[in-house]
Amino acid sequence: MPRPGRVLAVTGGHRIDLAEFVEMLAAVCDDLGWVWAHATQPSAQQWLRPEHIGAWDAILLHDLPGLRLARGQAPVPVGPGDDVRAGVRQLLATGQGVVVTHHALAGWPSWEGWATAVGGRYLYAPGMLRGQQWPSSGYRMARHHIDVIATDHPVCAGIQPFDVDDELYLCPVFEDEVVPLLATTADLDGQQFISTFEAVRDGLELDAALHPAGSRLVAWAKSAERSPLVYLQPGHGRETMQHPQYRRLLVNALRWVASPEAHGWAAAHPSPLPD
């Protein structure tokens, strides 16, 4: 009898409802017939290394590594060190399926390579990205409608357009480097969003009116080195984690990134990570 699939879920670096997340993870893995394990940053990083290739059929990232946050202080990027960068690169070069959700888009803010891996970046502070100066990203809670773009993609199998109360992001997305899966119809005017930097540093809710126009994409697929990767922007809280369409998306995404089809596609469309 073949062994069940195995998924490693990684959290840490951002406050979440852990009980709700674990309940969702258990239900998703029951649906898949997989087993799961949970690790927390920063110690979880030891599992994201090439010597552990084959330990997991998929890795689910719901973490925020590399950023120190404290009210009244500017966000401070921390690492990653050369060993961490090399380890992640090597792991992805071997074809490790990865699903990235919600705030994990902000991970490793001082490493441009990680933004390339994921397909965009949420900036907690103004900064440079690919030679362009960006303001801090924006966020807002909203009930919004999500449409399915790639109806024939395995990640979207059985997914119907749906509404959800969740946190929307206004941030850079590398649209020409990803396969669009889902898009929101929400108003993405910067005046509707809160600028993250002032909110974290000063507790001020200033709008993000100066931010460039945002992307409507809230889910996509891409390659990272030679690994298949899916990003799902929803995932902020209880309603989303209990939403049947969101759980189905996670099931589909985890199954797809672990599949021979996805691995073959990523190997044929490699995306090297810059420093």
Q: What is the DSSP string of 207-253?
A: B-TTSPPPP-EEEEEEEEBTEEEEEE----SHHHHH-HHHHHHHHHH
Domain 6-124+173-183+215-268 classified CATH 3.40.50.880?
yes
Report the percent of the chain where pLDDT is more than 90.
90
pTM: 0.97
Tell me, what's the pLDDT at 199? 94
Rounded to whole angstroms, the Cα distance separating 214 from 190 reads 8
Backbone angles phi, psi at 271, to 5 degrees: -130, 90
Flag whether pLDDT at 1 surpasses 70.
Answer: no
Q: Tens digit of pLDDT for each residue in 228-262?
A: 999 999 999 999 999 999 999 999 999 999 999 99
* Residue 227 CB-half CA count within 13 A: 31
Look at strands 162-170 and 35-40 and give their pairing. unpaired
* Interior angle at CA 43, CA 37 and CA 48, nearest 5: 65
pLDDT digits (tens, 9 = 90+) for 86-134: 999 999 999 999 999 999 999 999 999 999 999 999 999 999 999 999 9
Distance CA 223, CA 93 (A): 10
Q: Mean pLDDT over residues 212-240, rounded? A: 96
* 134-145 tens-digit pLDDT: 999 999 999 999
Structure confidence at residue 73 (pLDDT): 85
- Strand 58-63 with 98-101, pairing: parallel
Give the pLDDT confidence score for residue 51 in this predicted structure. Answer: 87
CA dist 167 and 176 (Å) reads 24
Task: Evaluate whether 1 touches 51 at the Cβ level (below 8 Å).
Answer: no
Residue 215's nearest CA partner among 176, 269, 163, 157 is 176
Taking the C-alpha atoms of residue 260 and residue 115, their distance in angstroms, rounded to an integer, is: 25
What mean pLDDT, rounded, does the chain reach?
95
Closest CA to 16 of 41, 37, 33: 41
Looking at residue 79, its pLDDT comes to: 85
**Strands 132-134 and 162-170, how do they pair?**
unpaired
User: Rounded CA gap, 50 and 131, in Å?
Assistant: 30
Identify residue 58 by its one-letter amino acid code.
A
**pLDDT beyond 60 at 66:** yes
